[in-house]
Chains A and B, each alone.
Chain A
């Protein structure tokens, strides 16, 4: 098996950094820092109070140790909780954005110049702690859709933000979500009013640039009765020797007959081939299907980060609500992922589908952890879960922890699991037909992930396939 055991990763493609002066908060965390962040964003008093409540609660909490990942303790006092590229205040148009920032996003392939109108996707580009540009604001406004950086939404729609913020992930939720509630800086806010089908895909691109900073974004998406929105997020960061913390919170709310589709292609810096550096991706994502016949779909392709800890879930409160979770998580070199979902069935006839594909290569450790909970009143609830693991080489690991909690005897539960090893024979078979070993692995892995990729919007599906190919490059010799 020597040919499969040779692991040399192609350098991370997005590992460069932008040389731009930053407005940095002093290092460390205390109430003054939180007041500083809140003041920088000119926030109303209630939001500052909310942050402070979260911070005080956080001080009583301890970092979770149950995930199946290993890392050195994070020094929360060694992080800058706010970093912004220095620029003149109040930009009226994209022309005023620092060309270095525009160049950064251009290099990342993110179209923030509206003239290009690539693929008709509205983009919110977030650089460290602030939103740099949001495209297509006017077009969306016409349709009645609000798509704003979170800090602007606080200014322009304070009532909406106040009504929904923390309604799905309360500030007491968990260690990282609580930390985020205290120090979150920017993120996206989406509001799709009753009966509106959002006319284009919405997308946020997150970029960590400054050193020794954490990124704590907060995203809130509300789809009113009968509304529909598809939202994509992408992310990357420079290659650095230090570990950087990313602790985001995403809250989704779907009212009656509303549908939210949330897709992620996560490509934070994964660390080098010896496991040095990389992003700690500790994220809380949850959707509330509040209304009848509402639907929330999570699709994630997780290829980056040194450590991933996230469980995008759905609370199926409304009758006939549908929750879906489609995931591809890849760990190569020394990456570790503990990821999965939570499906909480409360309403009658609620349905959930879980399709998880874990790929481990190099010394990667990949854990699926999922909870399906059927509450007492959830008559005729149904769940289908499928957890597939793929191993490449013999130094990696795949682990599955499915938790099932059923409190109503009318529930129907299905769980399927498989583990496959990409063997020399499979690769040899493809080679015998003329394909190179790398193309063979890429093809085998893409075939394995097909059920998830077909859930992604078109442009993202192609990006995800390429990303998997790149992330696996060199995993066979």
Chain B
């Protein structure tokens, strides 16, 4: 589904990704871990197409299509979703309005009928259950006045509504208390299916207790230096990242 080959990317002339290789198939959950500054968020933003980053080498394809040639909205319409580490606020636009505008743009792009207000409320009601929210969140402006945890949950609500094929979660678990982490994990689990894939970028192992990844990768200094199963995450939790430095230097 997602094929990343020798990806190099830089921001303002500084190279952050230095040759990332990653292959994600439908139905899989991948966790990408690594210390601060290793390039985890950059990788997520490059997949989504953030204009601040320049890809200098390598390729990213999604279902055989060259993603790097597409605008961010075109990627989204293909089914690529990113949950942001720092979701923005949009004043004066309600959550419900924003969600409907987004879902209808995607439906239109896929040749599906757009939801009218009433149908959409039914859809939303179902999705709100996923994150345990009341309808009152729908009439609040997008992320305005939301706590950090509420903003993260709102990202998950958007993911649930937009039903992406590939979801990239950028540190969705950081800054959340343990109950919220479990809730986010459950939401991700409930969306798991053989047609979909999830890439979770995280600093901590704890969210992986609730959603079992098929693969764990360690991103270090702009490269994936180690890949393994879920046990790799536990090893990292126990030993930290320093031992990897030695391995990389020795390597």
Contact = CB atoms under 8 A, between A and B. Distances in A.
Interface stretch (A106-114, A228-236, A439-447): A439-447
B162 interface: yes
A18 interface: no
Interface of A is mostly: helix
B51 A434 contact: no
Interface stretch (A116-124, A312-320, A340-348, A421-429): A421-429
Given A446-B93, A451-B92, 19 more contacts: A423-B88, A426-B90, A429-B88, A431-B49, A431-B71, A432-B72, A432-B75, A433-B158, A433-B162, A434-B76, A434-B102, A434-B109, A435-B73, A435-B105, A437-B71, A437-B73, A439-B101, A444-B91, A444-B93
A439 B105 CA distance: 11
12 contacts: A2-B51, A429-B87, A430-B90, A433-B102, A433-B162, A434-B105, A434-B106, A435-B101, A437-B73, A443-B90, A447-B93, A450-B92
A439 B109 CA distance: 15
A434 B73 contact: yes
A48 interface: no
B199 to A, nearest CB: 15
Contacts of B158: 433
Interface residues of B, number: 29
A429 B85 CA distance: 11
A70 B77 CA distance: 45
Interface in A48-84: none
A466 to B, nearest CB: 16
A424 B162 contact: no
Contacts of B49: 431-432
Contact of B90 (A2, A3, A436, A444): A444
Interface of A: 2-3, 420, 423-426, 428-437, 439, 443-444, 446-451
A424 B52 contact: yes
B71 to A, nearest CB: 7
Contacts, number: 78
A412 B151 CA distance: 36
Interface of B: 48-52, 71-73, 75-77, 81-82, 84, 87-88, 90-93, 98, 101-102, 105-106, 109, 141, 158, 162
Nearest to B77: A434
A426 B48 CA distance: 14
Contacts of B82: 432
A443 B93 contact: yes
Contacts of A436: 71, 73
B84 to A, nearest CB: 7
A435 to B, nearest CB: 6
B92 A431 contact: no
B102 A435 contact: yes
Nearest to B87: A429
A320 to B, nearest CB: 31
Contacts of A426: 88, 90
Nearest to A447: B92
A428 B51 contact: yes
Contacts of A3: 51
A432 B90 contact: no
Contacts of B105: 433-435, 439
Nearest to B91: A447
B92 A449 contact: yes
B52 A432 contact: no
A431 B72 contact: yes
